[in-house]
Amino acid sequence: MKTCHFEEKIDDLLAGSLEAEAAEALENHLVTCTTCFARWEEASAMVQVLSQASAPEPPPNLLADFQSELTKALASEDDKSPLWPNIQNRARSIFWPGNTTYRVLQAAALLIFGVFIGRQFLAPVPEVVGPPVPAALNQNISTEEIESVQRFFNEAEMLIIQVMNLSYPDAIETEEIEFTQSIAQDMLVRSQTMQEEALELNDMAMLKLLHRMDVLLYEVANLSGEDMPDMLPFIQKMIRDMNIVAEIRLILEETREAIKPFSI
Partner 1 sequence: MNSDAEQIILEAKAGDKRAFNMLVTQHQKRVLYLAYDLLGDWDEAKDVAQEVFVKAYQKLDTFEERSRFSTWIYRITTNLCIDIQRKRKRNRTEPIEKSGPDGKLNLNQKLSEPPKIEALLENTQLRRQLEEALTQLSINQKTAISLRYFQEFSTTEIAETMGCSENTVRIHIFRGIKKLKTILGNIQIS
The per-type count for the chain, helices as H runs and strands as E runs, is 13, 0
Nearer to partner 1, 19 or 77 (CB): 77
User: Does residue 244 belong to the site contacting Zn ion (CB under 5 A)?
Assistant: no
Long-range Cβ pairs for the range 216-220 (8 Å, 24+): 216/160, 216/242, 216/244, 217/159, 217/184, 217/187, 217/188, 217/191, 218/100, 218/102, 218/188, 220/159, 220/163, 220/180, 220/181, 220/184
Nearer to Zn ion, 32 or 120 (CB): 32
Q: Which of residues 17-46 bind Zn ion (CB under 5 A)?
A: 33, 35-36
Nearer to Zn ion, 29 or 90 (CB): 29
Nearer to partner 1, 4 or 107 (CB): 107
Rounded-to-integer distance, Cα 224 and Cα 238, Å? 17
Rounded-to-integer distance, Cα 163 and Cα 3, Å? 35
* Binding at 58: pick from partner 1, Zn ion, none (beta carbon under 5-8 Å per type): partner 1
Nearer to partner 1, 44 or 140 (CB): 44
Taking CB under 8 A as the criterion, the residue among 19, 21, 77, 127 binding partner 1 is: 77
The one-letter amino acid code at 106 reads: Q
Q: Which of residues 37-66 bind partner 1 (CB under 8 A)?
A: 37, 40, 44-56, 58-59, 62-63, 65-66
Angle at 210 between CA 100 and CA 92, to 5 degrees: 20
Nearer to partner 1, 96 or 132 (CB): 96
Distances (CA, A) of 51 to 30, 48, 67, 242: 20, 5, 29, 35
Are the beta carbons of 231 and 219 closer than 8 angstroms? Answer: yes
| 144 phi/psi in degrees, rounded to 5 | -55, -45
CB of 69 to partner 1, least distance (A): 6
Taking CB under 8 A as the criterion, the residue among 103, 126, 130, 131 binding partner 1 is: 103
Q: Which of residues 129-148 bind partner 1 (CB under 8 A)?
A: none
With b for 16 or more beta-carbon neighbours within 10 A and e for fewer, the 106-117 pattern comes to: bbbbbebeeeee
User: Does residue 168 belong to the site contacting Zn ion (CB under 5 A)?
Assistant: no
User: Does residue 6 belong to the site contacting Zn ion (CB under 5 A)?
Assistant: yes
Q: Which of residues 144-203 bind partner 1 (CB under 8 A)?
A: 169, 172
Residues of this chain that bind partner 1 (CB under 8 A): 27, 30-32, 34, 37, 40, 44-56, 58-59, 62-63, 65-67, 69-70, 73-74, 77, 84-85, 96, 98-103, 107, 169, 172, 215, 218-219, 222, 224-227, 229-231, 234
Residues of this chain that bind Zn ion (CB under 5 A): 4, 6, 33, 35-36
